[in-house]
Structure 1
Amino acid sequence: MSELDAVLAAGRLAAQELQRETITLYRPGDSGFDWNAGTDTPGPSTTLYSGPARVKPSAQSRGEEVNAGEVNTTQREYTVSVPWDTVIVSRPLPGDVIEVSTSPDARMVGLRLWVTGVQFSSMATAWRISGEDRS
């Protein structure tokens, strides 16, 4: 093992120690319209990852107010870090969803984020996914 590999391994171990939340990353299924009930029926979702993560607001996130469907919402950006060597079913895509299931901060439980991007790097200590809170 090279010196660089040893440093990266130590950094990845340290990054995992900061991953105190548990998340589920999933791809929502296509919804269909139920003409009898007059409602949308969500299709089955596909779980891409479930496990430890670090969820934190992005440093540059100020919260942007937008009008969506005649409702004012505030969008806040988050960075979600999962273990660097995580194996997933499919690469996350914009529109996939991250839900926080457990956290030492009880206020984060139930937080739902929509994936906006993914960062890859062989020199990273964690695999980072960008998401936004649309509440």
Structure 2
Amino acid sequence: MTALEAALAAGRAEAEALMRDTVTMYRPGPDVFDRVTSNSVPGPPEVTFYSGRARVKPDQLADAEVQAGEREVTLRQYKVSLPFSTDLPAPGERPKPGDVLEVTASPDARLVGLRLWVTGVQYSGTSTAWRIIAEDRS
């Protein structure tokens, strides 16, 4: 093992030690019309990329306010770190903007149920974690 490989292994172990949240990242399926409520509801996920430990933290201190339809929406950006060893569900099946990341458990109860939309994915052979950039569109 080279010095670089040893440093990366130690860094990856430390990054995983900080992962105290649990998330699920998936590609949402097409909406389904509910005839009882006359509303569209999210369909089942088309692809589940990951379900397990993660670190969810705000990426920027400033929020952005934008118009969406006729209402104002505040965008908050987050950086979500997943274990570097995370496998993709199938070769070439990578997360892309528009995929969803949900916080299912966290020591911070305010994060549980948070739904984030993926805006970017970072890949690197020398990273200590797999980093996903996502935003809260509440």
TM-score by length of 1: 0.92
- The answer to whether the aligner puts 1:9 opposite 2:14 as a matched pair is no
Q: Secondary structure at the match of 2:6?
A: helix
**Root-mean-square deviation (CA), in Å?**
1.6
TM-score by length of 2: 0.90
Residues matched between the structures, number: 134
Higher alpha-carbon deviation: 108-117 or 23-32 = 23-32
Higher strand share: 2
Question: Which residue of 1 is the match for residue 56 of structure 2?
Answer: 55
Structure 2: 5+ residue stretches without partners:
none
- The amino acid of 1:109's aligned partner reads V
Structure 1: 5+ residue stretches without partners:
none
Question: Which residue of 1 is the match for residue 86 of structure 2?
Answer: 86
**How many Å separate the matches in 2 of 1:52 and 1:34?**
33
Among candidates 99, 102, 116, match of residue 99 of structure 1: 102
- The answer to whether the aligner puts 1:72 opposite 2:72 as a matched pair is yes
CA drift at 1:32: 4.3
Higher alpha-carbon deviation: 83-92 or 37-46 = 37-46
CA drift at 1:43: 2.5
- The amino acid of 1:81's aligned partner reads S
- The answer to whether the aligner puts 1:131 opposite 2:131 as a matched pair is no
**How many Å separate the matches in 2 of 1:132 and 1:92?**
14
Identity between Structure 1 and Structure 2 (%): 58
